[in-house]
């Protein structure tokens, strides 16, 4: 299966994968133990902003510019082969290495929060109450420059051993899709107020399907 | 949003999340740099087996029983609130800390590979060619005891500030579902051989929806 995998350092490829992933996994060390925590991220140009549990946990480790790793993974398809070891998944993943800084400038923090909302919910920032200075002040946002980054991608059908193709066994690719179901309003939404079209039709489709 | 989050150390909760996730993210140190790599996993009782790129990369770090972290995250829903900071996601995640060992016993390795296939593709091991001793021999499988593990779960609607509920803005939860699309046979599948029902109907639904 390694024949169908390729590495890429091209910025457009790296950015597209970062922008499509709903969450990232952040790895860092604390007292000799590696931790990996899920968190949300948004990219603005060549900065990757992190917000959420991982950002909070990492703040103490960050004071000394400790190294970290941010990884995102998109699973595009299950790859079904004719033997155990040729089973695989089609995926696109990105690894970003570096050191983060805590964002303290309120304007930069506001831009990062805007990007975090708009990336997952296009158009939503216009509908909701904007952040107050106090809210921004108590919020942790980290910034990581996207300098040392690489993408890894697998596409295409299974690659079986020649002798195994005679096996009367279905083999191929099952594309996976992350889809939104039926939106569930909370108890305080006024009756008759329908969800915006961006929510009702939300879907994050894999771009490379086969 | 933290009011809707809770931590759990209950084994059944941890196991159910591990068993539902398609992949995990493995964190480890190599030469002072943390790395986070996606890989596949399967649980047998209280052992978590890892196979794939991360397992290969970690082998050298493992000789000295280096600490690692395995994290899985299931995103169940987008949580749409009436202000920026109350937006969230409903999710279930598990963090397992410990030290892994390389599996060398061919029988244990065979059981692990069987679990890795059957977990994602129930019934498939009966259809495909079994592993040869040579294939097992060159395959890296790591085992991590599930001893130090915790789950974190968010469920339910957004929790807005009281003053924000007056805003005429749809808010609630959008459940997400990972679904299989149309199976794509590879070029060597005999005409007329349909995919097994488990593939055509593959779906990994979130169990806790709201």
pLDDT at A208 over 60: no
Of B34, B120, B181, the CB nearest to A28: B34
pLDDT at A12 over 60: yes
pLDDT at B2 over 50: no
Averaged over B45-59, what is the pLDDT? 87
Does some domain include residue B209? no
Close Cβ partners of B75 (under 8 Å, ≥ 6 residues apart): A22, A23, B89, B90, B91, B176
Does some domain include residue A107? yes
Averaged over B193-202, what is the pLDDT? 86
Q: Are the beta carbons of A25 and B37 separated by less than 8 Å? A: no
Mean pLDDT computed over every residue of chain B: 91
Q: What is the ipTM of this complex?
A: 0.93
Sign of CA dihedral A72, A55, B12, B156: negative
Express as a percent the part of chain A with pLDDT over 90: 77
Q: Are the beta carbons of A174 and B165 separated by less than 8 Å? A: no
Which residue(s) pair with A68 in the sheet?
A98
Determine the distance in angstroms separating the CA of A127 from the nearest CA of chain B, rounded to an integer.
Answer: 6
pLDDT at B210 over 50: no
Residues from chain A that touch B172, judged by Cβ atoms under 8 A, are: 183-186, 189, 195
- Is the model more confident about A63 or about A30? A30
Does some domain include residue B43? yes
pLDDT at B91 over 80: yes
Q: What is the pLDDT of residue A201?
A: 81
Determine the distance in angstroms separating the CA of A37 from the nearest CA of chain B, rounded to an integer.
Answer: 7
Dist CA A14 CA B123 (whole Å): 36
What does the DSSP assignment read for chain B?
-GGGEEEE--HHHHHHHHHH-S-EEEEEEETTEEEEEEEEEEEETTEEEEESHHHHHHHHHHTTT-EEEEEEEEEEEEEE-SBGGG-EEEEEEEEEEEE-EE---HHHHHHHHHHHHHHHSTTGGGTSBPPPHHHHHH--EEEEE--EEEEEEE-SS----GGGGGS----EEEEEEEEE---EE-TTSPTT-PPPHHHHT-EE--S---
- Is the model more confident about A64 or about A67? A67
Dist CA A52 CA A66 (whole Å): 18
Output the pTM of the full model: 0.94
The residue in chain A having the minimum alpha-carbon distance to the alpha carbon of residue B116 is A84
Q: What is the pLDDT of residue B207?
A: 46
**Residue A141's domain spans which residues?**
2-204
Does some domain include residue B69? yes
Dist CA A14 CA A10 (whole Å): 6
Does some domain include residue B210? no
Domain with residue B118: its CATH number is: 2.30.110.10
pLDDT confidence band for A209 (50 / 70 / 90): very low
Q: Are the beta carbons of A199 and B170 separated by less than 8 Å? A: yes
Q: What is the pLDDT of residue A63?
A: 64
Token look-up 């749809």 returns: B170
Domain count along chain A? 1
* pLDDT tens track for B100-123: 999 999 999 999 999 999 999 989
């Amino acid at each position: 299966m390694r024949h169908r995998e390729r590495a890429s350092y091209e910025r457009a490829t790296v950015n597209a994968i970062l922008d499509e992933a709903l969450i990232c996994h952040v790895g860092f060390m604390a007292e000799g133990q590696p931790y990996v925590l899920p968190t949300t991220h948004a990219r603005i140009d060549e900065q990757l902003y992190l917000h959420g549990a991982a950002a909070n946990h990492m703040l103490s480790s960050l004071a000394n510019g400790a190294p970290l790793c941010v990884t995102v993974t998109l699973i595009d398809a299950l790859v079904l082969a004719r033997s155990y070891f040729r089973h695989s998944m089609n995926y696109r993943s990105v690894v970003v290495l570096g050191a983060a800084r805590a964002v303290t400038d309120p304007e930069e923090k506001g831009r990062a929060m805007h990007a975090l909302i708009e990336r997952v919910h296009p158009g939503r920032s216009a509908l909701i109450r904007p952040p107050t200075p106090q809210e921004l002040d108590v919020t942790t946002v980290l910034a990581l420059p996207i300098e040392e980054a690489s993408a890894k991608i697998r596409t295409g059908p299974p690659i079986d051993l020649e002798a195994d193709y005679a096996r009367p066994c279905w083999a191929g690719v099952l594309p996976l899709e992350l889809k939104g179901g039926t939106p569930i309003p909370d108890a305080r939404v006024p009756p008759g107020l329908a969800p915006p079209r961006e929510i009702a039709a939300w879907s994050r489709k894999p771009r490379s399907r086969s």
